[in-house]
C-alpha cells in the first residue's frame, strides 16, 4: 500500500505545476498519518508496530508540527505496547487503557490540501 501510494503521489507532483509542489509534503504527511493509523489498529503484532515506527518517522519528517500534537503520545504508547509486549498482553493493555490508546484522532490531523 505504501509503495503504490507513493508512486501515485510522485507521479502527480511530477506532472503538477511548480506552484503546487509545496503541497507534496502535506500529501506525504497525510498519507503517513493514515498508514500509521492502519498499522497500529486491530490485533497487535510486533511487525506492525515496527512498521508504524517507520511511518511515524515519515510523519515527523513531512509534518514537524505533529511533535506538538497530543495524539503523538497516544501513538507512541500504542507502538511501544505493540513492539515490546507479547500480542496477548499488548491487547490486554490496549483494552485496559482505551482512552490512552485511542489513536483515531490521528486522522483528524490530516491537513486540508488547498491549492491557492
Express each pLDDT in 37-58 by its tens digit. Answer: 999 999 999 999 999 999 999 9
What's the pTM value of the predicted model, to 2 decimals? 0.90
Three cell numbers written together for 24: 507534496
d(CA 30, CA 107): 8
The predicted model gives 71-97 an average pLDDT of: 97
Residue 8 neighbours by CB under 8 Å, 6+ apart = none
Q: Domain segments of the chain: what residues? A: 2-109
In this prediction, residue 70 has a pLDDT band, given cuts at 50, 70 and 90, of very high
Express each pLDDT in 92-105 by its tens digit. Answer: 999 999 888 889 98
- Cβ pair 106, 75 in contact under 8 A: yes
The predicted model gives 24-29 an average pLDDT of: 95
Amino acid at each position: 500500500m505504501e509503495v503504490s501510494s507513493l508512486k501515485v503521489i510522485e507521479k502527480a507532483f511530477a506532472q503538477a505545476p511548480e506552484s503546487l509542489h509545496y503541497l507534496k509534503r502535506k500529501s506525504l504527511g497525510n498519507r503517513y498519518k493514515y498508514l500509521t493509523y492502519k498499522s497500529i489498529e486491530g490485533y497487535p503484532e510486533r511487525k506492525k508496530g515496527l512498521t508504524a515506527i517507520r511511518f511515524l518517522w515519515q510523519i515527523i519528517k513531512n509534518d514537524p508540527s505533529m511533535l506538538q500534537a497530543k495524539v503523538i503520545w497516544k501513538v507512541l504508547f500504542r507502538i511501544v505496547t505493540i513492539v515490546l509486549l507479547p500480542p496477548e498482553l499488548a491487547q490486554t493493555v490496549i483494552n485496559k487503557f482505551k482512552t490512552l490508546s485511542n489513536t483515531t484522532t490521528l486522522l483528524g490531523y490530516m491537513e486540508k490540501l488547498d491549492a491557492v
